[in-house]
Structure 1
């Protein structure tokens, strides 16, 4: 049962990634069919982001009351309904309306699943699960491409992914008894050493924010997700406009940044249990900084800059899973769901705000600022995570001395 539920969670993480690339992949055709400017894609992604932030902040209360299994099933069902709704939308307004349940479902399932895995499974699974998210995010553009070239149109692409999510929803509903059985056979323990029941007292947002170190970890998480989303969106543009790389080469190496993240998370899974979350976070930010330096060096050849993107992607790989997995150890199992919900909200905020901020900076200063923008975010993430490590170490020493 333990392994079967883990397999279902792996499939759920693939489903988390599937919708994330659909808007970008289909928008060049969608905006023409809907009769709106290209820039209107930002309104849809903004609505989705607001929904994910709201549901992430509310995930702690929902998961405490209904359990991770039911929250996951209902949330995936919401995204399935939204994607099917996208496929039948004939106007931009309809897309915006369907973006609301899309965002609400995505944020709740992300927070619930991440906390459940952090509590019940080893660090290697957290890395491999997020690698599967990357697999899902990589597959969906191919689904949209097939739909566009086979005559199904963009609506067909959304319908295929929506139907896939609907099938997964049915599987998750059928698997609901597994969650309870796994909790009984592999119970996690609360901070007082007693097995967790899943129905502990609600941890309010204000209370969670007052936990020592929470502001540090959300700052580090904000920095990481801002860095990742900026690199994904602007890497290709920087290579073309800032370094004169041809469009095809720039697009290929920009995609290698994502491939570096996906591959790096798979490889990090083999090291995670032995190396530990703290070293993975520290090493990841340092490798990202090295990649940014390689991109920034003003050499006559672009080889080092292109390789730097791959290096930066590999550095990014373990940071997100390690921060999530370390949350129960850093802040206690009682508060982990609340803190992870806040972290998810910080992640979506960083992913939403940083790319347009860089767009403004690159317009004012020039595209050459790209690697320095990444380096500053990597430095911020490293400093905040190291400060958190020192705070947790002091707390643990004080607890030992009090025994």
Structure 2
């Protein structure tokens, strides 16, 4: 992992054992970029370009609405130097083009310390900002894809990924100093080595994530990870070399693509990793489901259960399964004849009230507190017999006496 104070080395100075893979990525990226340009340009189209403020833009003279691509940058004092501000549109030959793409290696190895990406941009291409000195990046909500090696070999400590990004390419944020990252719900795929060799202590994975490729989060400082129900492919070494990783939570079914524990295990080779899962996704309840005490060679346990002890009063409340390290909501307050419910307690002696914001990490029993209802409607005693007699409401008693008086007058008449 990098030190935030260190400067990223030029591409040619990268460690030798990684140069082969980097070279292959760069060659492939160039071929893909060239092929895409050829395929996307009809025979009758004419590419036009302009360079302004140190940036070179290219577009199609037939279809300005399709937008322009930033293809190169010259960080001179007149252009903004190492603080690049990309415009949202550019005028080429009298036509206005929205800037929609940051092209292959457009800003690579140019010494950038900051960059502003406009909300017109939809695609950040391969190696677009590779090997600079960026310490932060904000990717707008308009962007749908982040290319291979787009921001690797910088010194990023923070990154904001927009909520329309669907794919994060191979090596996209490799070799930075990120400590936390939030993957938005729009992302479905995270590529190989995407966040390799950072300083991540926290990662939030979005609810649509399907695939995490090989070594995507290798060599970080993660202690826990929660996988969304959507995850189905968790490839080899995805979380290798996170020495402090202890708790892994799956919100859905076991992934169909997964490498068992070991040097290339999806969750690394640490014996301290504990997998938590929902009972609905256990084998045999679910085909190829999770198992206890181990699953795929990792220690594994079902989610904790919260039970409710009513001390024999009221209608029984079904136990609740709590996702590991989350809180549960309080059940509807129970009722019992002759008693008032006074709250839930964490002990049978009813000394400590339960706090429903507490995160549940183990099976938990809660106990209902009750207080007897005070007798407020005591009946009067008859003077001669000592027996109790119900008091009639004053209005009803008056009516009875009036009726009796009327009956007596009629007899007398």
Superposition TM-score tier, normalisation by shorter sequence: under 0.3
Which structure would you say has the larger RCO, counting Cα contacts within 8 Å and 6 or more residues apart?
A: 1
TM-score normalised by length of structure 2: 0.19
More helix by share: 1
More strand by share: 2
TM-score normalised by length of structure 1: 0.19
